[in-house]
Chains A and B, each alone.
Chain A
């Protein structure tokens, strides 16, 4: 492998160039968008009072950093998302294991889970406010409610798809259903568990923002609603930009964890 042929070097070069081109195009697209937005606002093609502009957003960001109010909003939203995600992971796994352990119970519950999963969870938010009050608990439950049913169903379906021959192996080695769960079902479902979680962290964020729209005094969702009511659209757009960043950050963190966990398997 010490010597690579000419053709191989050429191929690698071409690959590298293509990668750089794609990356550059992505950045250029963003810059072009920001530039166009700024120009349109400066030259009065759009009303910067409603549409804001990159510069105004930057200014707002700077001001809110100075008076430290922004950090509270970001922190609260992030905390609520992470807590509700934690509960989704724990409760989702426990429920899926429970359903797998009791097939007849799961048959009974299946239609209810399907209905709850397809129900638009934003419909529940006003109800949650009335039941639990306008506090952080409600918002965490809102985040939980968006993600939990889907993850239970996905995990449970994944558990059922485990190779029955592998389960038979455990039984022939003298194991019971418990061993089958811990030695085969859970470890073989690890990739699935991680990919379900990757999707769900985004859903938790959605639920938290919905919750903050309705019953919060802090958080980016609150900032969006409050900003739109007092016509401070710079706040709204800043929050949206920040939400993009948070979503990206959470997703890539989980992707990193996923890669680290699965690296050992795909040798």
Chain B
């Protein structure tokens, strides 16, 4: 049995006239069916690049990305991608926004539309079907964006810091909402974040990356032992703090690498 997604020794660099920036170096990990993986790392370390590679907007310079053991290429695999902001189109109603993906892929079949209608109902947006995005709160907009993504019934969900544009309170609530929705629909998901508590509260496994060029620092499975798992409940779990500290240490371990004597010239320069 192959995992749903597998990255094998993936390398990627950005090229500009000023030079080459190595973003990822020899990244390998896998995500099983129904699993929720969170990727944390220092900002600018290339977390989003990984998602762009998985969904096929970029292609790796070295290594391969496999879906169910096959290198099908992101374009053909059914992948849903949630961006940092909701990017609802202001000139479309909520309904027109959530069916955008179906429209683009010419999948406006009655059963698909029925599914979208049910999701709107389940996630409390039914009344706002004909409203415009500007009339919705940040949390509702983010939920609409999730429905737009789920309408295409993706096998794999990619979440690129989807809550970072929200204020703290909304962020906790929406994170909780979306975490539950993803669990209920039993979706496989990869979340990129720089927020450790978000990662611990939502994921089954946390992948920690080093500073650029990013390599895999460690992989920590999360076991919170909750009877009714939800991201908000997870924050109260006894083990939550332990995992938080563990990941914090792993991330900062890496910072102290830079402060080792051989790295002093670079540190001196910044002062």
Residues of A within 8 A of B (CB): 163, 165-166, 168-175, 179, 183-184, 187-188, 190, 264-265, 267
Contact = CB atoms under 8 A, between A and B. Distances in A.
B57 A172 contact: yes
Interface of A is mostly: helix
Contact of A265 (B75, B100, B103, B132): B132
Nearest to B145: A169
29 contacts: A165-B84, A166-B87, A166-B89, A168-B57, A169-B87, A172-B55, A172-B79, A172-B80, A172-B81, A173-B100, A173-B101, A173-B104, A173-B105, A173-B152, A174-B101, A174-B104, A174-B105, A175-B105, A183-B89, A183-B100, A183-B103, A184-B89, A187-B89, A187-B91, A188-B89, A188-B91, A264-B91, A265-B90, A267-B134
B91 A190 contact: yes
Nearest to A171: B57
B83 interface: yes
B135 interface: yes
Contacts of A267: 132, 134-135
Contacts, number: 52
Interface of B: 55, 57, 75, 79-81, 83-85, 87, 89-91, 100-101, 103-105, 132, 134-135, 148, 152
A159 to B, nearest CB: 16
Nearest to B103: A183
Given A170-B104, A183-B89, 7 more contacts: A173-B152, A174-B104, A175-B105, A183-B100, A183-B103, A187-B91, A188-B90
Task: Pick the 9 closest A-B CB pairs, nearest first.
Answer: A172-B81, A173-B101, A175-B104, A169-B87, A174-B105, A179-B104, A173-B104, A187-B91, A267-B132
Contacts of A264: 91, 132
A264 B100 CA distance: 19
B202 to A, nearest CB: 21
A225 to B, nearest CB: 46
Nearest to B52: A168
Nearest to B90: A265
Contacts of A175: 104-105
A188 B91 CA distance: 8
A162 to B, nearest CB: 11
A265 B81 contact: no
A190 B91 CA distance: 10
Contacts of A166: 87, 89
A204 B146 CA distance: 47
A190 B100 CA distance: 19
A189 to B, nearest CB: 11
Contact of B91 (A170, A179, A265): A265
A163 B84 CA distance: 13
A179 B75 CA distance: 16
A13 to B, nearest CB: 31
Contact of A172 (B83, B85, B134): B83
Contacts of B132: 264-265, 267
